Structure 1
Amino acid sequence: MFAFNVRDYQGSNVEVNKDIKTTLESNEKLDFWWLNNGITILSSRASVAGKTISLDDVQVVNGLQTTNTIYHYIKNREADNNLNEERAVLIKIVVTNEPETRDRVIKATNFQTPIPPASLKATDPIQLDIENFFLNHEWFYDRRKNYYKNTGKQLDRIISIPYLAQSVIAIVFHEPDIARSRPSSILKKDNDYKRVFSQKISLEVYLLCARTMKNLESSIRNFTSSKSNDLTINEQWKHASPIRILMFHLGMLLVVKILQKRDYKPKDVESIKNIDFSNELIMNTLAELIQLTNNYVNPREIPINIGIKQKDFVTFILENVLLNHS
């Protein structure tokens, strides 16, 4: 019923939900539905008999913030014997079988509050396919923002749409500079979106990208929190916290190392879809990446966080990375 709602409940601290709660708690003579956009339902067919409306193929595409806020308001007042809530909620029912019309209704009804571009793609068939595939492997693709967080799933196994897009851009298309510097632009243009989320890319590759980047996050977090490690970090690195911002470049170089190809193609990544990169390979590649980064930024006298966002930096590390790993 809620699969086509682009977001899950965003929590009581979100501004719009605070306003709904304030309206519910006020003693004003205004009816609730005068101030609230209510609920939008899509249906393939509707029939009316008296005061009963029968609907087929129901999809609630807008109104989760309203319904959840009302639910919590009522639940917190269950012990109130004087509870009298004779107020109305506006429900708009749109009957259509046209996919294009459905998508336009979803987009229009969700422009009342800021929606990231990624969320407006949440109902695409490929997004549903990725979510189901991840779920079968005990990973949680947060197609509807906050859904898996709200259901108590393990946070380090939750993957957002933008995060997956960044991972694919870095690993499959070896463009970590774009993944790092312009993550939001990946999903804004239709052509860019279709390049990242394409039937030509297998679901296994999407999982590889997400799993790899999450594992790198964990490895880098353990490395930076360790008091003793084998890598020498100079002052420039300590102040810039650059090890974390090199994460997408590191993901790309790991694929280069495994494939032994600097100019690998997206189809090449398919051949390593089930691989898990060893901690030894991750640490050795990280050490080499740090050295390559120093070799790039120091002669040019540019800050690390600026240098790594340049396309020339990606070209430099690909040309100079060693391929004879053990």
Structure 2
Amino acid sequence: MSNILNDEISKIISIAAQHGEKIAEEKAFDILICSLYCYNSLDYEKNWFDIYNENITDEKSDGGIDFVYFDEENSKVIFGQNKYSQNIDVNEAVAELRKLDATVKDFQNNSTSKLSKEVKKRILNALDRLTEENEGNFDYVFASLSTFKTENVISKVESDSQYADLYFYNLKTIEKTIIDLKSKLKVVREYKFNLDRSKNALEYSSDRSEGIVVNISAGSLKKAFDQYESEGLFNLNIRRYIKSKNVDEAIRSTITKDSENFWFKNNGLTIACKDYILDGNSIKIYDFSIVNGGQTSTLIAKDYKSNKEDFYVMCKIVKSSEELDEDATMRFYNEIAEATNSQKPIQPRDLKSNAPEMLKLQQLLEGKDYFLEIKRGVYAPRKYGDNKIKNEELAQLYFSFVLQKPGTARSNKRSLFSNNAHYKQVFLQKFEKQPEKIEFLVDLIQLSKRIDKVILRYKAEDYKKLNNDQMNVLANSKQTLMGLLGFIYSLVNKDSDLSQVRDITQYFEFGSFISNYKEDDIDEKISQLIYELIDWLTEIYINEFEFGRVTSVSNFLKTDKKYSEAILEKYANHLNKRKNKEELIDYYGSLFRR
């Protein structure tokens, strides 16, 4: 066994001991692979709660699934199967992947009686976060210390499995990933791409950068993928390949049926590199990564058959014209990656980035020393510090706190921009004529940031204060908490009362609130209130789960209807008992009073 791997395994076991857990090397290996693939990180301490308490499922009756992870950015579920052994062959890998796949299918058919309660809970919690639009969007990851022909495994499992993509780790790739994460420079050292013809290139330069546009052959791109896919080819690409039925089928159809017109129908690739040399009908590239075009590259690698006539893909190659050290080179690569990936794919919020109301709201918040990020790739100047927020995050807060729809805010945030009615409710509010609304938004942002810090502290330091169910609810309930706090705000300011639970938004009034609180115990009070709400929410969740009305925490928190009927009305009933309402307002009211 290598020292590189042993060091990481030992580090994970040590961190587990600090958290009061004694784990074997096999489980440490599960944590390592989950951290490498899902979090792209070696910071086990930072991600400990999420990995150990939400992702790892390796135990008896786990159905062949060792970890599960919900990739929020790409709306997909990642399933991992790990074998801490150097003696795994093709047949064993196939058997393990088929077992994993069978378990995933059992979940889809509601046939999971063979699984342990904890495993079932963690997997359902991930699956229930998928929307109807992304149902079935799965990645499988298989890791071992063995080397075998992965293409033989794929040929045996891909026809009857339902993954969007299948990834393999062996000892070599694990070590390479660890080294790359430590060194930060994760690139392919050298590769030669074939071109369509000699001297067919467009060059451009500035004071800082140089670039060239060429047409690279699909065959040489496929070979690069096969050789370097896990060796740095996409390590600087901000997004992984995302399964999208309509987009994938269109690209596949062009590859297989109309490849001679692929150049016209595809946007091509962008490569960031340290250097390149154009040599006749080929181009040699050094220290590079494909920073945009991962989906195109992946589908060509999977669907282009080398016995067919080659075709060509437009490729923009960019390098710095300055001599840079390693850190500066990495910053240059990241600039190119962020800029090119922020341009596409177009998201609903992108279409609103230049809308007059969005620009006006940004301007109004700047007047309060807050920066509203309305366009991807355009970030807050350093002077704003932590006083910044993305427009989609602000929309989520508003939908939860004001409109009392935390289910939509959590599960379908794209609709806050794509649904005109939703968008209008948040952003078409004539804020310039109502300064009290801007003051309210600033305080809403501040409250959210304080709650984020409370949640992080509970995860990192105070996890022993909460049991597993409470921690699970805490990790998934940010928008629901904001909804309940919005209800408390309405009660404190007498905008509504306990008999008007369903009419809160109708009588909601705006104004500064948390900034009016001048005592120095604000974080302590917020932390205590969050604890009380999580304790109460967990009790309601367990009851709903035991009666079979929900399948997981994600399912419990997924819809506005569930929030209204199973959470908000019950919370109002809870406050109606004895002096609960009076005690709540007496102790916490000053945090919310306008």
- What range is the shorter-chain TM-score in? 0.5 to 0.7
| Residue among 439, 453, 465 paired with 1:218 | 453
Aligned positions, number: 240
- Following superposition, the deviation at residue 271 of structure 1 comes to 3.4
User: Are 1:217 and 1:244, in contact at CA under 8 Å, matched by a contact in 2?
Assistant: no
Q: Give me the whole-angstrom Cα distance separating, in 1, the residues matched to 2:507 and 2:430.
A: 9
Map of 2:544 onto structure 1: 300
Q: Which residue of 2 aligns with 1:163?
A: 393
Q: Deviations over 1:222-264 (max 9, x none)?
A: 23323487xx5222234x3x31321222222223223313442
Verify the 8 A CA contact 1:117 1:187 in the aligned structure 2: yes
Q: Is the 8 A contact 1:142 1:161 kept in 2?
A: yes
1:216–1:251 CA contact under 8 A, matched in 2: no
Distance 1:28 1:189 in 2: 51
Alignment of 1:198 onto 2:428: yes
- Tell me by how many angstroms 1:185 deviates: 1.9
Q: What do you get for the CA RMSD once the two structures are aligned? A: 3.6
140-149 vs 278-287, which moves further = 278-287
Contact in 1 for aligned 2:450/2:523 (Cα 8 Å): no
| Secondary structure of the structure 2 residue equivalent to 1:19 | strand
Question: Within 5 A, what are the aligned runs for 1:173-212?
Answer: 173-200=403-430, 202-212=437-447
Letter paired with 1:315: E
- Aligned residue identity for 1:318: L
Sort the Cα spacing of 1:217 and 1:286 in 2 relative to 1 into closer, same or farther, 3 A.
same
Residues 108-146 of structure 1 show CA distances to partners (whole Å, capped at 9, x for unaligned) of xx9983022112211011211222222232322111223
Match of 1:193, SS?
Answer: helix
Q: Percent identity?
A: 21
Residues 132, 244 of structure 1: CA spacing in aligned structure 2 closer, same or farther, 3 A cutoff?
farther
1:73, distance to aligned residue in structure 2 (A): 2.6
Query: Residue 19 in 1 paired to residue 266 in 2?
Result: no
Equivalent residue for 2:510, pick from 270, 275, 286: 270
CA shift digits 1:11-59 (9 cap, x unpaired) = x7558997254699452679xxxxxxxxxxxxxxxxxxxxxxxxxxxxx
Distance 1:223 1:199 in 2: 36
Q: Distance in 2 between matches of 1:111 and 1:148?
A: 11
| Corresponding residue SS for 1:123 | coil
Distance in 1 separating the partners of 2:524 and 2:562: 28
Q: How does 1:33-112 map to 2 (within 5 A)?
A: 73-76=320-323
- Equivalent-residue separation in structure 2 for 1:198 and 1:208 (angstroms): 19
Taking the aligned partners of 2:415 and 2:349, their CA distance within structure 1 comes to 10
Cα distance in 2 between the residues matched to 1:185 and 1:172: 17
Q: Which amino acid aligns with 2:536?
A: L
Task: Give the corresponding residue for 1:312.
Answer: 562
Rg larger in 1 or in 2?
2
Structure whose residues are more often strand by fraction: 2
Matches of 1:314 and 1:284, distance apart in 2: 24
Cα separation, 1, equivalents of 2:379 and 2:420: 27
Which one of the candidate residues 141, 158, 165 is aligned to 2:372? 141
Q: Which residue of 2 aligns with 1:282?
A: 526
Work out the CA distance in 2 between the residues paired with 1:191 and 1:225. Answer: 39
C-alpha distance in structure 2 between counterparts of 1:160 and 1:291, whole Å: 30
Equivalent residues in 2 for 1:95-134, closer than 5 Å: 113-134=344-365
What CA deviation, in whole Å up to 9, does each residue of 1:44-103 have, x standing for no partner? xxxxxxxxxxxxxxxxxxxxxx9xx96x733459xxxxxxxxxxxxxxxxxxxxxxxxxx
Shift of 1:157: 3.0
Q: Which runs of 5+ in 1 are unaligned?
A: 1-11, 31-65, 78-109
Shift of 1:176: 1.0
| Gap change, CA 1:200 and 1:286, over 3 Å in 2 | same
Identify the residue that residue 254 of structure 2 maps to in structure 1.
none
Structure 2: runs of 5 or more not aligned = 1-235, 240-266, 282-315, 325-340, 432-436, 576-580, 587-594
Q: Structure 1 length normalisation: TM-score?
A: 0.61
SS in 1 for 2:404: coil
- The separation in 2 between residues aligned to 1:145 and 1:27, in whole angstroms, is 33
Pairwise CA distance, 1:187: 1.2
Q: Is the 8 A contact 1:122 1:144 kept in 2?
A: yes
Match of 2:468 among 235, 242, 248: 235
